Structure formats: structure tokens, C-alpha cells
Structure 1
Amino acid sequence: MEQAKDPAPLFSRRRLMAGTALTVLGGGAAFYMSSLAPGYAGLSLNVREAHQQAVAGDITLIDIRRPDEWARTGIGEGAHPIDMRRDDFTEALVTLVPDRAAPIALICARGVRSARMANRMSREGFSNIIDVPEGMLGSAAGPGWLASDLPTLPYKEPT
């Protein structure tokens, strides 16, 4: 009579390794997903629309990147550079656009910072914030300002 084999032990080395790998990968995926651009439920424009509307004066386009980024790529025609890291960012924005209901579009490099800042500005009482999720360099939303061959102006350091 053939003896039945014992099933694999509940806590075998193989099962322990597989469980550890799944835990690490699952945690890594959760971290990756949390580091992506936050959702912004408001309006958005592609870079061509943002350029056309900024040049026409229909929106105020704010480039929220850093000065070193502006120096490398230039600033999109029609955009106003205001570094989002400024302690007085909101005050600088209100100086440029006093009406918190006016349409203000935000652009950064790849759409992550602009979405975050759009959420922040909405919480701070700006009611017509528009995200440009393609950014200057492109993202999942599209090729971006530079790859779309939209005009840029050189950045000049303030003196």
C-alpha cells in the first residue's frame, strides 16, 4: 500500500520567500502610486490651448518651476515665472492677478507640481485654477510645451 505524502508545510521556506516578495512589491507599488501626480478635479488645458489663451490674454499662465529650470528651457511665451517654493507665492500671485476668480493656469515640468499647486490654490480661495498637466517637458498627458515646438523666451535673472 502506497503511503500518502504530507502536504507542503504551512510555513515552508518557499512560501515565506514568496510572501515576502509580494509584500515588498506591493509596498513598492503603493509607494510608487502615492508619488505620482495628485489628482486635480478642476479644469485642465493642453499646452497648445494654454499658449493660445495666455497670448490672447484669456488666462494668466504661471510657470511655477525653479529659476534653474527656467534658465535651461526658457519660459513659455505668455507665461509669468513665479517659483512655487517662494514663501510669498500666494502674495506674488495676488499681486499679478488680484481677482481670485480670474482664470489662472499653472505649468511646471511634467504636471506633478502644477497639480499639487492647483489643489493648494483652490484651497486658498482661487476659484478658477487650471492645470496644464503636460508641462514643459511632457508627461502621460501629452508631449509638453518644448516637444510641441511652442515659443519660449529666455529667462533673465532679476538684478
Structure 2
Amino acid sequence: MIRALFLLTLALVFSTPVRAVPDLSAPEAYAKARAGEVRLIDIRTPEEWRQTGVAPGAGRVDFYRGPQSLTDYILQQVGGDRDAPIALICRTGNRTTQAQRYLQGIGFTHVYNVREGMAGSAAGPGWLRRGLPVEACGQC
């Protein structure tokens, strides 16, 4: 039920124009996160975090918990600043594309999408195949 409501909310947001923000490759996201230039947020599920680990220092919020949970978590991570740069990562870039549009639609101005995700997609080989570091997710 929550997934259906979230997807309906996203469909409504997709119908409104949003600003385009460039995507980041996995290495770019890693470098920017390490430099403190973006807050990296993993929006996969706890099961996915346990299976592969997460990028070092990445925030974690389950996309499927719904739009309010996603919004609240991200606002907490950026101290309420909707202009703070964030980079979203999921498994293959599908959820991050939806979340990016949703967040832009509600006023976030610097939402980057790591479209290749952790596992890879048409956008690139992905975080894991590129050999970028991950940490075990012991609290998932």
C-alpha cells in the first residue's frame, strides 16, 4: 500500500517541470562525497545494504518507506537546507531517477543522480564493479 501511494505521488510530481541537474558517475560521487561536496544517500532497502554493503559515510533511507520518510530523512541529513547538494544512489538508477524528480519537485535544488547505481546499468558499470569501497552495514 505504501509503495502504491509513493508511486502515485511520484507520478504526480513527474507531470510538473523540474530543473535538470547533471548526473554523477559512481567515481565522481565517491570523490565529491569524500571531499564533502555532496551528501551521498543510499535509497536501497536494508536487505540490499546487507547484501552488498554501502558506500563509506553514505546516509541510508529505504525509498519504499514513502515520500514523507524520504523527505524527512534527507532534510535531517542536510540540516533542513533544500539547497544543500545531495547525491542519490540505488541499485541501478531507477529509484534515484524517481526520487530526484520528486525532491526537485518539492524544492530541493541540487539533487544529483548516480544513475549507474551500485550494481550497474546502461549508464555505467556501477559502484561495485568499479571497485569503489563499501562498508558492511551492521545496523541494517
Distance in 2 (alpha carbons) for counterparts of 1:152 and 1:65: 14
1:118 corresponds to which of 100, 106, 121: 100
- 2:48 match: 69
Task: Give the counterpart of 2:61 among 79, 82, 86.
Answer: 82
Deviation at 1:42, TM superposition (A): 2.2
- Normalised to the residue count of structure 2, the TM-score between the two structures is 0.81
The answer as to whether partners of 1:51 and 1:78 remain within 8 angstroms in 2 is: no
Q: Report the identity percentage.
A: 43
What is aligned with 1:106?
A: 88
What is the rounded CA distance, in whole Å, between the counterparts of 1:103 and 1:73 in structure 2? 25
- The structure with higher relative contact order (CA 8 Å, sep 6+) is 2
Partner secondary structure for residue 85 of structure 1: helix
TM-score, scaled relative to structure 1: 0.72
Q: Please tell me the root mean square deviation across aligned C-alpha atoms, in Å.
A: 1.5
| 1:96 alignment counterpart | 77
The gaps in structure 2 that reach 5 residues or longer are 1-13
Identify which of 8, 21, 29 aligns with 1:50: 29
How far apart, CA to CA, are the structure 1 residues paired with 2:56 and 2:118?
Answer: 12
Unaligned runs of 5+ in 1: 1-37
May I ask how many residue pairs the two structures share in their alignment?
Answer: 120
Tell me how far apart the structure 1 counterparts of residues 35 and 138 of structure 2 sit (CA, whole Å): 23
Could you tell me which amino acid in structure 1 is paired with residue 75 of structure 2? V
Equivalent position amino acid for 1:142 in 2: G
Q: Which moved more, 1:137-146 or 1:84-93?
A: 84-93
Between the aligned partners of 1:109 and 1:72, the Cα distance in structure 2 is: 11
- The equivalent residue for 2:116 is 134
Deviation of 1:43 (Å): 1.6
CA distance in 2, matches of 1:91, 1:81: 12
